[in-house]
Structure formats: structure tokens, C-alpha cells
């Protein structure tokens, strides 16, 4: 996956909240590409895209701060673990169902984060992490 200068600058200058949005979009894109590759029977590229989505979910999981809101943090970690499991199933069984489910979950989470544009203004300390 090649990254252009615009995307690189966007990532380097992004706030923590924007980085989460970028990661959700990238994970969703990888799952959607994996679904396309599955339909075409392209096993290697499907597996590669699933692997990308798994790496992104791992990165998102590592960024969860359970200290601020333990219950929310633990639930989010459990959801990330569930999506990892479903991606593994999709890869092992060459099945679209788990991919579709993960795509739906990522879309919902990404949409929720996109609805929080004022989050950084409400919590300025997030911008300095």
C-alpha cells in the first residue's frame, strides 16, 4: 500500500481523534477490498487485506485508555477482539459473512467518531497526547 504525500502530511499533522478516524477508514477499506478479492477468488490478496485490517484493529486496541472510562474501554477492547476473531474466521473459511459483519461494525464505529467533531474542543488535553 503506497501512501502519497497528502496522506502522509494528513497523518503526521492529525490530532489523536483524527488518527482514530483515519484508522477506522483504513480498516474498513481493507475489509471491503478483502470482500472484493474473496469474490474474485484472489486468495493471497484477500489474506493480505485481512491482515492489514487485523493490524489496524490491534493498533486501535493498543490506543484504548481504560483508565478514563474502564467500562467503555473494556467493551471497546472486547469488540476489537471479536472483530479480530471474525476476521480470522473469514480468512480460514474463505467466508464473506464475517467480513460483512466486521465491515458493518467498523462503519458504525467510524460514523460515531465522525459525529464527534467537537470532542477535541471539549477535551483539549487529547490534542496534547
Task: Report how many domains make up the chain.
Answer: 1
Q: What is the pLDDT of residues 91-119, one digit of tens each?
A: 999 999 999 999 999 999 999 988 876 55
Q: Is 73 within the bounds of a domain?
A: yes
Average pLDDT, the chain: 88
In a domain, 127, yes or no: no
pTM of the model: 0.84
Full domain range(s) for residue 33: 15-122
Residue 90 CA to residue 102 CA, distance in Å, equals 10
The torsion angle over the Cα atoms of residues 75, 100, 89 and 56, rounded to 10 degrees, is: -60
For residue 109, the domain's CATH number is 1.20.120.340
pLDDT score at 129: 45
Q: Sign (positive/negative) of CA torsion 53, 57, 60, 62?
A: negative
Amino acid at each position: 500500500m503506497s501512501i502519497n504525500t497528502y496522506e502522509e502530511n494528513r497523518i503526521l499533522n492529525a490530532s489523536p481523534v483524527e488518527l482514530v478516524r483515519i484508522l477506522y477508514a483504513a480498516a474498513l477499506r481493507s475489509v471491503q477490498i478483502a470482500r472484493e478479492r474473496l469474490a474474485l477468488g484472489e486468495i493471497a490478496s484477500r489474506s493480505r487485506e485481512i491482515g492489514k485490517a487485523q493490524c489496524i484493529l490491534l493498533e486501535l486496541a493498543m490506543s484504548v485508555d481504560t483508565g478514563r472510562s474502564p467500562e467503555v474501554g473494556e467493551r471497546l477492547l472486547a469488540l476489537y477482539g471479536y472483530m479480530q476473531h471474525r476476521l480470522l474466521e473469514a480468512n480460514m473459511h474463505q467466508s464473506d459473512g464475517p467480513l460483512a459483519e466486521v465491515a458493518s461494525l467498523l462503519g458504525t464505529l467510524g460514523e460515531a467518531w465522525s459525529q464527534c467533531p467537537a470532542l477535541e474542543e471539549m477535551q483539549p488535553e487529547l490534542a496534547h497526547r
